[in-house]
Structure 1
Amino acid sequence: MPLIDARKLAVLAALALTACGDGAEQANKKEQRRGPAQVGYVVVQQTRVPLVTELAGRTFAYRSSEVRPQVSGVIQKMFFNEGTVVRRGQPLYQIDPSLYRAAVNEARANVASAQATAQAARVRADRLRPLAEIEAVSKQDYTDAVATQRQAEASIAQGRAQLETARTNLRFATVPAPITGRIGRTLFTVGALVTASQTEPLTTIQQLDPIYVDIQQSAAALLNLRRRMAAGGVLPASASVRLKLEDGSDYGQTGTVEFAEVVVDQQTGTVTLRARFPNPGGLLLPGMFVRAVFAQAIETNAFLVPQQAVSRDPQGNATVWLVGANNKVQQRTVQTVRAEGANWVVTGGLRPGDRVITQGTANLSDNATVRPVPANTPQQPKPPSPEQLEQQQKAKGKGD
C-alpha cells in the first residue's frame, strides 16, 4: 500500500507540473498575442524657465513729510480737511502773524534810517574831498568822513538782511504743504500754541501714488542665486513684480524692482528689495502686508516635464521612464528643482530629444518592449482574441 500511494503522489505531482507549465505557456502566448504595451510619451527640449519667487513684503509711502512749524505762535486758522489730497505749496495753517509783521515794519524803518545816514555821510565826504586836496582841511578829517560813509552803507546792507529775515518769518507764519499727497489727522487745532523747536509735527502728508513695497529675502537665498549666475546657466530676469494682497487676491497693477539693499539685517538675516507700484485708486495703504511674486532669474538649460511622468524611488530620488532604442524602456534619475504649473523643472539627467513616458507607466520594467505613441493619442480598439470569441459564442449559445 505505501508503494502504491507513493506512485499515486508522483503521478499527481507530474500532472500538476504539467498543468502549471501549460498555464504559463498559455499566459505567454496570450501576452505575445496581445503585443507590447502602448505608452504615451513627450519629446523634451531645453527651454528658458523663469525662476519665480514669492516673498513677503510691506507697503510704504512713496513720499512722507511731517509738517512742522518754523516759527512760534498761536494757530489762527486751518485751510484743509483731514484725509483729503493737498497740493504742494497749498496753505495748511495760519499762525498769528502780528509779531512778525511788526518785525518787518521795524526792519524796514531801520533800513530807511540807515539810508538817510548814509546819504548824509556821502555828502559830507564829497564836500571834504576838494578841500583836502588844497589842504584847506586836514586829510584825517576827510579820511574819517569816508569811513563814516562806508559804515552807513554797511548799516544799510545789515538792515536789508534783517528785513529779509523778518519777511521770511512772516511768510513762515503761513504753513504750506511741502509735498502733494493725502494729509492725515491734525495733532494741533485752532488756538494751540506751537513752537519752532517742538518735536511733534502738526500733521503728516503721504504720497501714495506710486507706492513702495519693501520685500524681504533671505541672504542665503540671494547668495545661492548669485553663485548660480556666476557659474552660468542662469541669467538675471526682468524686474517685473506682481502682488498678492492679504485676502489672497491679485493686485491688478504690475510693479518694478528698483534696487536692493547692500547690507544684511543683523536681526533677521534678510536683504530688502524695494519695488515701486502704481496706485491710482489708492487701494494700497502704507503698512499693508503683501506677497510679492517675481522672477529673479531665468534657467537657460532646463526641461519642462509633466508631473505625472516623474516618480520617486525608495531613496527619494526623482526618476522618469524613457523610450530608448528598439522601443526598449529605461529608467533614469533626474534632478528636479521645483514645480512650474503642471510640470517639473528638470535641470539634470535629460538630453534634448529624449522621449519621456507620461502615460502607461504603471507596470513598466527596465528593457521592456513597448509601443510608444505621442501622449494623448486615442487608444485603438483591438480585435477580440480567439479565446474571447469562443467565450462569446458559448455565452450566446446558453442564452438561446
Structure 2
Amino acid sequence: MRQTASQRSLGVTLLKIILPVCLIALGGAGFWYYKSKAVKFKRKPAVKTVPVVDVIKVNSDRFIAQIRAMGTVRPDREVVIKSQVAGTVIQVAPEFVQGGLIPEGQTMVRIDPADYELAVNKAQNALARAQADFEIEKGQQQIAREELKLMAEMSPNEIRETGLVLRKPQLEKARAVVASAESDLEAARLDLERTRILAPFHALVRSKAVDAGAMTAAQGTLATLVDVTCYQVEVQVPLDRLDRIRVHDTQGSPARIRSLYAGRAWQGRVVRTTGAVTEQSRMAGVIIRVDDPLGLGPAEGRPAMLLDDHVEAVIEGQAFDNVFSLPRNLVQENSSLWIYNDGRLEIRKVAPVWIENDRVFIQSGLSPGDLVIQSDLSAPVPGMALTLASQERR
C-alpha cells in the first residue's frame, strides 16, 4: 500500500524533531554520568608556618682597630754631595758605587791636593812675613817713644804725644796684615781638607757622578746619598680613620709594613702626617718611620727594604673595650640587628664604632649572650614568632 505524500512529509518532520531530542538526552545522560564519577578534592584549612632561623650568640671582647693603607718607601734623609773645590779625582772608595754602603766619616772621594798644599805653604810664608813686619813695627814704635821722650827733655817747649808720632797707625796696619795672613792660611788649609770628601752619615750611594780620573769643578755634583739608619713609608689614609691613629715621634702607632712584590715585612711606627690631603683621592698622607731598614744594626739579618718599593701598611689604631664583633652582612638598614628574643623577633638599633673588611664592631645596643639572627627574613615584623634551627650555632 503506497504512502501518500502527506504521510511521508509528516514522517520526515517527526524524524527531524525526535533525533535532536534524543541526541541532547544522550549527551545530558553522559555528562551526569561522568560528573558522578569525577574525583572530589577536599580543601584543608591553611596552617600558619613559623620561620626557622639560625642565630649567633655574641660576647664582648677587646679589639684594636687596624688601618690598612698603601704606600711607597722613601728616604728619610737624602742629600746631594757636591765638591767645594775644583780638581782631578785621584781616588774613590771601593764602596763608592751605586748601591754601595759607606760608613759615616769614611773618605768617599779624594781630589788631587797638590795645588792646595802649595796654597797652604804660600799662605804660611805670607803669615811669617806679616808677623815679622809686625814685630819690626812694634820695635819702631818703641824707638819712636824713646825719641819723643828725649826731645821732650831737650826742648823748652812742651811736646805733645800723638798717635802718628808714636806710629800707632802703622802698628795697627801691621796687626791687620797678620790677621789677614792668618785667615788666608786657614782658608788654604780648609780647601786642602775639602779635597777629601767624607760620608756625612752611614750612607747608601743612590747615584754617583764621578770616578777616578774625572775633573770636577767647584760645586760639581759627586753623588746622591741616602741615610740608611732609617727610611720612611708615606701612605694614604682615609680622613675618617685618621683620628684613630697615634702620631708621635717615639710613641706613634705601631705599623707592620709588607712588600707587595717580595713578601718581606718590617716593623715601623707612625711619626707624623704630611699635613696635606691628596688632590685626587682626598686622603691624608701619613709618614711611617722604619729604623734600620737594611738590617745592618740591631735588626741584623732582617730583609733589606728597597727604596721606591710599593708596600702595604697595617697600622694599629685605637683600642676598643667591650665591643661585639659580627659579620658585616648581619647589620640591617638604619644600623639595626635582628635579635631572637624568647621566640620572637626584636629589631634593635645598634651603634657600630668600627668597620674592618667584612666585620663590624658594635659597642652599644648589644648585651653578652644576645642571639643575633643570621638567617634571611623576607618580611620581618617586630614581635613575629620564630623557631630556632636544630643546628643552633653558639
TM-score (ref. length: structure 2):
0.72
Q: Which runs of 5 or more structure 1 residues have no equivalent in the other structure?
A: 378-400
Partners of 2:102 and 2:202 within 8 A in 1: yes
Give the structure 1 partner of residue 218 of structure 2. 196
Give the structure 1 partner of residue 168 of structure 2. 146
Q: Distance in 2 between matches of 1:318 and 1:268?
A: 27
Closer/same/farther in 2, CA of residues 268 and 152 from structure 1, 3 Å limit: farther
Give the structure 1 partner of residue 87 of structure 2. 73
Aligned partner of residue 172 in structure 2, secondary structure:
helix
Partners of 2:245 and 2:316 within 8 A in 1: no
Partners of 2:163 and 2:169 within 8 A in 1: no
Q: How does 1:11-160 map to 2 (within 5 A)?
A: 16-17=41-42, 20-21=44-45, 39-45=54-60, 49-81=63-95, 82=97, 83-134=99-150, 135=152, 139-140=161-162, 143-160=165-182
Give the structure 1 partner of residue 276 of structure 2. 263
The answer to which structure has the higher helix fraction is 1
Partners of 1:328 and 1:369 within 8 A in 2: yes
1:344 aligns with 2:360: yes
Partners of 1:358 and 1:375 within 8 A in 2: no
Closer/same/farther in 2, CA of residues 9 and 368 from structure 1, 3 Å limit: farther
| Deviation of the 1:128 alpha carbon | 2.6
Counterpart of 1:204, as a letter, is T
Q: Distance in 1 between matches of 2:51 and 2:73?
A: 60
Give the structure 1 partner of residue 315 of structure 2. 294
1:181 aligns with 2:194: no
Closer/same/farther in 2, CA of residues 289 and 39 from structure 1, 3 Å limit: closer
| Deviation of the 1:20 alpha carbon | 2.6
Q: Distance in 1 between matches of 2:206 and 2:51?
A: 76
Give the structure 2 partner of residue 393 of structure 1. none
Give the structure 1 partner of residue 385 of structure 2. 368
| Deviation of the 1:103 alpha carbon | 1.0
Partners of 2:57 and 2:393 within 8 A in 1: no
Aligned partner of residue 330 in structure 1, secondary structure:
strand
| Deviation of the 1:301 alpha carbon | 7.5
Q: Which runs of 5 or more structure 2 residues have no equivalent in the other structure?
A: 1-24, 296-301
Counterpart of 2:225, as a letter, is I
1:211 aligns with 2:239: no
| Deviation of the 1:241 alpha carbon | 1.2
| Deviation of the 1:96 alpha carbon | 1.5
Give the structure 1 partner of residue 340 of structure 2. 323
Partners of 2:350 and 2:366 within 8 A in 1: no
Larger Rg: 2
Closer/same/farther in 2, CA of residues 373 and 208 from structure 1, 3 Å limit: farther
% identical equivalent positions: 18
1:303 aligns with 2:324: yes
Counterpart of 1:261, as a letter, is T
Closer/same/farther in 2, CA of residues 359 and 100 from structure 1, 3 Å limit: closer
CA RMSD of aligned residues (A): 4.0
1:277 aligns with 2:277: no
Closer/same/farther in 2, CA of residues 359 and 216 from structure 1, 3 Å limit: closer
Aligned partner of residue 20 in structure 1, secondary structure:
coil
| Deviation of the 1:136 alpha carbon | 5.7
Closer/same/farther in 2, CA of residues 373 and 267 from structure 1, 3 Å limit: closer
| Deviation of the 1:327 alpha carbon | 2.6
1:92-134 C-alpha deviation (Å, 9 max, x unpaired) = 2221112111111111111111111111111121233244245
1:275-309 C-alpha deviation (Å, 9 max, x unpaired) = 1113214521111111222144456675312457x
Partners of 1:59 and 1:286 within 8 A in 2: yes
Partners of 2:53 and 2:373 within 8 A in 1: no
| Deviation of the 1:90 alpha carbon | 1.1
1:206-258 C-alpha deviation (Å, 9 max, x unpaired) = 223421101123xxx31x346xx6xxxx786961112231227351x221010
TM-score (ref. length: structure 1):
0.71
